[in-house]
Amino acid sequence: MTANQARQTRVLIVGAGAIGGFYGAALQRGGADVSLVCRSEAEVVRQHGYRIESVRRGDSVLRPNQILLSAADYQGGPPDYLVLSVKVVHGLDRVSLIRDAVGPDTAIVLIENGVEIESEIAQAFPANELISALAFVQVSRIAPGVIRHFAFGDLTFGNYPRGLSERSRHFGALLESGGIQCALTEQVVTARWAKCLWNAAFNPASVLGGGLDTEDMLGTPEGEALVRRAMQEVRAVADAAGHSLAPELIDQYIENTRKAPAYKTSMALDYLHRRPMEIEAIIGNAVRAGRRERVDIPTLENLYALLKMVEHKAGKPA
Ligand X SMILES: NC(=O)C1=CN([C@@H]2O[C@H](COP(=O)(O)OP(=O)(O)OC[C@H]3O[C@@H](n4cnc5c(N)ncnc54)[C@H](OP(=O)(O)O)[C@@H]3O)[C@@H](O)[C@H]2O)C=CC1
Residues found near ligand X in the complex (CB under 6 A): 15-20, 38-41, 85-88, 92, 97, 111-113, 135, 137-141, 266, 278
Of 199, 207, 230, 290, the one binding ligand KPL (CB under 6 A) is: 199
Least Å distance between CB 112 and ligand X?
A: 4
Shortest CB 270 distance to ligand KPL, Å: 9
3-state secondary structure of 268: helix
Mark 231-267 as b/e (b = at least 16 C-beta within 10 Å): bbbbbbbbeebebebeeebbeebbeebeeeeebbbbb
Bridge partners of 109?
Answer: 83, 131
Least distance from C-beta 171 to ligand X, angstroms?
Answer: 17
- In angstroms, give the least distance from the CB of 134 to ligand X: 7
Q: What is the CA radius of gyration of the chain?
A: 19
Question: Is residue 88 at the binding interface for ligand KPL, with CB under 6 A as the rule?
Answer: no
Nearer to ligand KPL, 22 or 74 (CB): 22
Q: Which amino acid, 53?
A: E
**Any contact of residue 137 with ligand KPL (CB under 6 A)?**
yes
Query: Please, which residues bridge with residue 226 across strands?
Result: none
**Binding track, positions 201-240, relative to ligand KPL; x by CB under 6 A:** --x-------------------------------------
- Among 136, 173, 209, 240, interactor with ligand KPL by CB under 6 A: 136
∠ CA 238-266-181, nearest 5°, is: 70
Cα separation, 7 vs 151, whole angstroms: 33
- Is 233 in contact with 304 (CB distance < 8 Å)? no
Q: Which amino acid makes up residue 60?
A: S
Cα–Cα distances in angstroms (integers) from residue 213 to residues 126, 128, 156, in the given order: 40, 39, 24
Q: Specify the DSSP class assigned to residue 56.
A: T
Indicate whether 156 belongs to the interface with ligand KPL (CB under 6 A).
no
Q: Does 35 bind ligand KPL (CB under 6 A)?
A: no
Residue selected from 106, 266, 285, 299 as contacting ligand KPL according to rule CB under 6 A: 266
Residues making contact with ligand KPL (CB under 6 A): 113, 136-138, 152, 199, 203, 265-266
